[in-house]
Each structure stands twice: as C-alpha cells, then as structure tokens.
Amino acid sequence: MLLRILPLLFFLFSGNLQASQYPVEVVEFIDNIRVVAFINEADIDKTLSWIPFEGTPPVTVGGALGAIKGYVAADPEFAKMELTEIELKQIPHHQSYWHYLVRIKTTLEGKSRSHYFIVLMNGKVIQGIREPSSIK
C-alpha cells in the first residue's frame, strides 16, 4: 500500500522544489566598494526590458532618485541625503534588463554614512549591502 503512494508523494514534493526560485545575486562595484543585493526572479520578470541605442530607459535618473526618495521617506536618517554616485548597469545573466546602482550619503548627528540601492526599470527599489573588506 505504501509503495503505491510513494511515487505520488515523490512527484508532489519534486514539483514544490522546482517551483521555488532562488534570488539573483547582484554583485557590483561602485567607487571601489563591493555592493551585494538579491533580486527575486519574479521582480525581474515584472520589470521592463531596455535595449541601449534603441530608445531611452523606462526609468530615468530622476525617476530612480524619486523612487529612492519614496522608499526612505519615513526614515529620519534620510531627511538630509546627498547623491554620491549613480550608474546604469545590466542585471547579470539577464540580457536587456538593466538597473541603476545608487550611492547615497546621509548625515545624522554629525555622522556620515553611505547607503546603496538598486532601482529596477519598473521603479522597484532594493537596498544593497556593503560587503565588508576581507581581513588581511
């Protein structure tokens, strides 16, 4: 009896395993700092593709900065923020899908701090993580 059910259970569990998706790891360098972010495959599917030299990006620089401003609006640390750097980069292994890599500097109580964001071409903001430098 159990042997008849075993193949059915195998197919049910294998389908669930195949349905789960791992996020795309994006490793970028900005101003010699390694930044890591994780983008869900579903978020990439929802974004707009862009082919350079065939039109303007779906999200402009101003649109990307506006998306970040909306993303951090409730955080008092970002009341005084300054754009340090912004770059347009392709999402690894996803031809025609691009993102902005943005570095923002904030100052709170006299302490300056950098923050890193990825903005997809649909305006979705994903916070990046500065990878610590290795111990030498």
Say what the pTM is. Answer: 0.79
pLDDT at 6 over 90: no
Q: Once rounded to an integer, what is the mean pLDDT over residues 106-135?
A: 88
CA 39 – CA 43 distance, rounded (Å): 7
Domain layout of the chain by residue ranges: 22-130
CATH top class, domain 22-130: alpha beta
How many other C-beta atoms lie within 10 A of the C-beta of residue 104? Answer: 20
Cα-to-chain-centroid distance, residue 4: 45
pLDDT at 118 over 50: yes
Q: What is the pLDDT of residues 30-76, one digit of tens each?
A: 878 889 999 999 999 999 999 999 999 999 999 999 999 999 999 98
Closest C-alpha to 48, from 101, 100, 98, 106: 98
Spatial CB neighbours of 131, under 8 Å, sequence gap ≥ 6: 27, 34, 35, 36
